[in-house]
Structure 1
Amino acid sequence: MTRDNSTRARVPTARADPLRIGGRSVAAQLRAGAPGLTRRVLSRLPTELPVYAELPDEELAGDIAEIVQHTLRLFADVVERRLAVGDADLAPQRASAAQRAEEGVPLDAILTAYQIGVEMCWSESTEQARPEELPAVLELFADLLRLQRELIAAVSAAYLEARQLLDGQEQTGRHALLAALLAGESPEAVAGRTGVRPAARYVVLTLALAAHPDEARPGSRAGIAARRKLRRIRQALDRFTGEPALTALDAAGGTALLPVDVAPPWPEVRALIDRAACSAGTAITGAAAIAEPAGIPEAVTRNAEVVRLVRSSGRGPGLYLLADVLLDYQLSRPSAALAGLADLLAPLDRRPELLLTLETYLTHGLNRRATAALLHLHPNTVDYRIRRVAGLTGLSPSHTGDLHRLNAALVARRSLAGGGAGG
């Protein structure tokens, strides 16, 4: 990504006379005033750019000061000899940009710092300009713009090249850490193999993602929409803990591990999933658990079962805990009682409309109007069908004991239809 200016002519184009503004040689003024101007630039940076206030004082007085002075003297050379700027001239700026990238200084702050220096350099050179010196001022302005263009290009390219390398290394490390945790390796083994010490605990998320409407569009647009959806979900997860989440996600969903020091309140985690869904423009059905590194594989397996139960029971999108589906989970375990529970609804096998009405009615809290609206029926029809269910099965949702048995029977039927969950 480094710009190659090696073929650019470096032969000076001599000025007939030194460029003078305010009766003084601009190049000589810049060289003589470089130390003082450097100090003034350095005093502004921490004030206007808080990230520079976080750098060590010795770094500001050392590396940063050297770059400022080098840039000032480079501009003096450009003005005096009208030199085109080449790679060798900007090597210190590129090296500095790569170092700032390693330190995590944002690129916009670095470019703003250069802009502050350029602005102060311009003020220093033109504050005593006379009306008759307008041609010289315009010539200086052109020189300054040319140098600024070269600075921005060189610094941005070096920064992005360094950042890309660092991001690639970090991404490889995160993938290795995620794979080790999902495999159940001990924290000591993970740290020894990946060089990264796992967090004390993680919020383990299993997510099922609905398709964004744009994913149904033809051609490459579907792939772009899927990547956009995943990027927005990852961004929401990263913001939650303030560092990159460990994720293995595709367009249909997957696993995410959020490192935490202490278990966050569940309403906050649920709100996180709601925000991610809103940002991505898609429905998310997920399960969550808190686990230490050794417990992550079991948590992932259990989460997957929770998501399956949630979706098979017709519950809506959102984040669920095992506590939300305890009855479904327990009844999904292999048991001799399952068949007996399922048989409670056998009289409805030839009346699928009654079975559907019952399931919808129970799922929506015995709300006849909501059930009617979802099934496009009159509420009286719902009442009639529920009475028919009671007549055929001997179980009425209006009786508390029967209601529990009906719920259990529906869960048992779903579990047997899905082949069970295993041991």
Structure 2
Amino acid sequence: MAHLRRRDRFTGTADVVTTVRHCLADIAEDLAPAPEAPAAAPPALVAAAVRWAREGVALETVLTACHGCARDALEFLAERIADAALRAEAMVDGARLMVRVVEVVTTAAAAAYLDEHRVVAREHQTSAQTMVAALLSGHGVATLAKRSGIRVAPAYQVVALAIPPHAEERAGGLEAVSAARRKLRRVQAALGTPLGSRSLSLLRADGGTVLIPLESAECVPGDRTAPGVMSAEVLQLVAEAAEVRPTATVAAGTTAEVPELAGRTHDVLDRLRASGQPPGLYRLTHDATAEHDGAAVDARQVHRLPRPAGTGRRTRPGKPGAA
């Protein structure tokens, strides 16, 4: 234990290494009489891990410091025991103790990082949802942007999204509520990678609105395949994640036009679904009319979704999710 507390034994990020080293020594001292006994992480370690997470110190740095200190302690033990028989027994006991100590430290550090990540994620989600509400209403956008730090883009692609219920949601009861939440989390994760962190969404299990920042209202590419915008490919990712066939209507315009575009896209979405149009991606034109396979409708269908194949326990083989 005294060896772990020596300042000259370790190099690296000073604050991290010093704190981890002393925590290892404290836990080892507590567990030495009974390595299998329950042990709580030192409050100093938990507080430090939260601070490191907020400061952007990588969790890998903390875990590397922990394993490095434990490895050095075992090497020190092996060097100081001359008798081979005693060395083997001491190394077994020392290894058992250090494995237990490392378990306590790494579990506590990872849990602290995860808790802080959840707090930050909730704060960001709240700010993002408030910004979406402001953009959709057209009021208080500039003030909220200054307060939240969320950049307001010159233009947005406005997406109205309808997500049918999954087969598990149709069963009713608490399981249906849980299934809806799981579906929503899968959809949000599916949107995150292609659209990036700057996209703003206000979604429920049955759909909602997504606002995707653009540098201008005309920068949505004609082939609909560029990264960072709602496209047929992105909607297909949503379909695969939700295991149902969603319908989306999209339009692009300046930030000031977002409230009007949101109303139009949702109105068209409602009429498309009421008239029995197939799921897929529909793009609104400037004159509010377009074509669907040669027929005049309220939007141009640029992609018709295939029925997604069910995975895992959510759908039975050969019976895809509800459309």
Change (3 A) 1:261 1:139: farther
Query: Quick one: structure 1 residues 28 and 184, their matched pair in 2 at CA, closer, same or farther if it must change by over 3 Å?
Result: closer
CA gap of 1:179–1:291, structure 2 versus 1, over 3 A, is same
User: In 1, Cα distance between the equivalents of 2:53 and 2:5?
Assistant: 29
Which amino acid is 2:273 matched to? R
Q: In the comparison of the two structures, how many residue pairs are matched? A: 287
Q: Shift in Å at residue 166 of structure 1?
A: 2.4
Q: CA deviation at 1:209?
A: 0.9
Residues 281 and 134 of structure 1: CA distance in aligned 2, closer, same or farther (over 3 Å): same
Q: Is 1:293 the equivalent of 2:255?
A: yes
* Alpha-carbon separation, structure 2, partners of 1:193 and 1:218: 41
Equivalent residue runs for 1:1-20 within 5 Å: none
CA distance in 2, matches of 1:223, 1:79: 44
CA distance in 2, matches of 1:144, 1:317: 58
| 1:203/1:257 contact within 8 Å kept | yes
Amino acid at match of 2:54: E
Q: Could you tell me which residue of structure 2 aligns to residue 396 of structure 1?
A: none
Distance in 2 of aligned mates of 1:325 and 1:112? 60
CA contact (8 A) 2:4 2:69 kept: no
Partners of 1:321 and 1:112 in 2: CA distance: 50
CA RMSD of aligned residues (A): 3.5
Is the CA contact 2:32–2:97 (under 8 Å) kept in the aligned structure 1? Answer: no
Q: What is the aligned partner in structure 1 of residue 128 from structure 2?
A: 174
* Alignment-mate amino acid for residue 89 of structure 2: P
- The Cα shift of 1:74 comes to 3.6
Structure 1 CA distance for aligned equivalents of residues 163 and 31 of structure 2: 59
Query: Out of 191, 201, 221, which is 1:237 matched to?
Result: 191
- What does residue 54 of structure 2 align with? 102
Rounded Cα–Cα distance in structure 1 between residues aligned with 2:158 and 2:179: 26
- Per-residue CA deviations over 1:33-54 (Å, capped at 9, x if unaligned) read x523x22xx3xxxxxxxxxxxx
The 3 A distance-change label for structure 1 pair 136 and 102 is: same
User: Paired residue for 1:122, among 66, 71, 74?
Assistant: 74
Q: Distance in 1 between matches of 2:46 and 2:56?
A: 15
The Cα offsets for residues 1-43 of structure 1, whole Å up to 9 and x where unpaired, read as: xxxxxxxxxxxxxxxxxxxxxxxxxx454455x523x22xx3x
Do structure 1's residue 65 and structure 2's residue 17 form an aligned pair? yes
Find the counterpart in structure 2 of residue 35 from structure 1.
8
Name the structure 2 match of 1:228: 182
Query: Following the alignment from structure 1 to structure 2, what is the Cα–Cα distance between the partners of residues 212 and 80?
Result: 53
Verify: 1:317 aligned to 2:279, yes or no: yes
Contact 1:306 1:321 in 2 (8 A): no
Structure with higher strand content: 2
Q: 1:202, 1:290 within 8 Å by CA — same for their partners in 2?
A: yes
**Do structure 1's residue 91 and structure 2's residue 43 form an aligned pair?**
yes
Give the match for residue 337 of structure 1.
none
Partner of 1:217: 171
- For 1:205, the equivalent position in structure 2 comes to 159
Q: Contact (CA 8 Å) 2:159, 2:209: kept in 1 or not?
A: yes
Match of 2:225 among 267, 275, 280: 267
1:152-208 superposed Cα distances (whole Å, 9 cap, x missing partner): 343234333333332332222222212111110254233356554423333221101
Q: 1:31 to 1:228 in 2, by over 3 A?
A: closer
Deviation of 1:96 after TM superposition, in Å, equals 2.4
Letter in 2 for 1:226: A
Which residues in structure 2 correspond to 1:38-57 (within 5 Å)? 38-39=10-11, 42=12
Offset at residue 260 of structure 1 (A): 4.3
Higher helix share: 1
Mapping of residues 182-201 of structure 1, within 5 Å: 182-185=136-139, 187-192=141-146, 194=148, 196-201=150-155
Kept in 1, the 8 Å contact 2:239–2:246? The answer is yes
- Distance of 2:31 and 2:99 partners within structure 1: 12
| Alpha-carbon spacing, 1:85–1:313, altered in 2? closer, same or farther (3 Å) | closer
Q: Taking every aligned residue pair, what percent have the same amino acid on both sides?
A: 30
Whole-Å separation in 2 of the counterparts to 1:324 and 1:318: 20
How far did residue 234 of structure 1 move? 0.9
Could you list the runs of 5+ residues in structure 2 that have no partner in the other structure? 299-323
TM-score of the superposed pair, with normalisation by structure 2: 0.73
Q: Secondary structure at the match of 1:267?
A: coil
* 2: CA distance, partners of 1:106 / 1:228: 29
In 1, are the aligned partners of 2:158 and 2:258 still within 8 Å (CA)?
yes
SS at match of 1:227: helix
Matched, 1:140 2:98: no
Question: Are residues 125 and 323 of structure 1, via their aligned partners in 2, closer, same or farther at CA, if it must alter by over 3 Å?
Answer: farther
Q: Return the letter of the residue paired with 1:149.
A: E
Counterparts of 1:117 and 1:261 in 2: how far apart (Å)? 50
Shift of residue 308, structure 1, vs aligned partner: 3.3
> Does the Cα contact within 8 Å between 1:205 and 1:303 map onto a contact in 2?
yes
Is 2:212 the partner of 1:250? no
SS of 1:220's equivalent?
helix
Distance 2:70 2:94 in 1: 12
Structure 1 length as normaliser, TM-score? 0.57
Counterpart position of 1:163: 117
Q: Distance in 2 between matches of 1:102 and 1:306?
A: 44
- Structure having the higher Rg: 1
Contact persistence 1:67–1:93 (CA under 8 A): yes
Conservation of the 8 A alpha-carbon contact between 1:78 and 1:143: no
1:76 to partner: Cα distance: 6.9
Aligned-residue offset at 1:223: 1.6
Going from structure 1 to structure 2, the CA distance change for 1:141 and 1:210 (only over 3 Å counts) comes to same
Amino acid at match of 1:152: T
Distance 1:291 1:80 in 2: 67
Q: For 1:140 and 1:78, how far apart are their aligned partners in 2?
A: 14
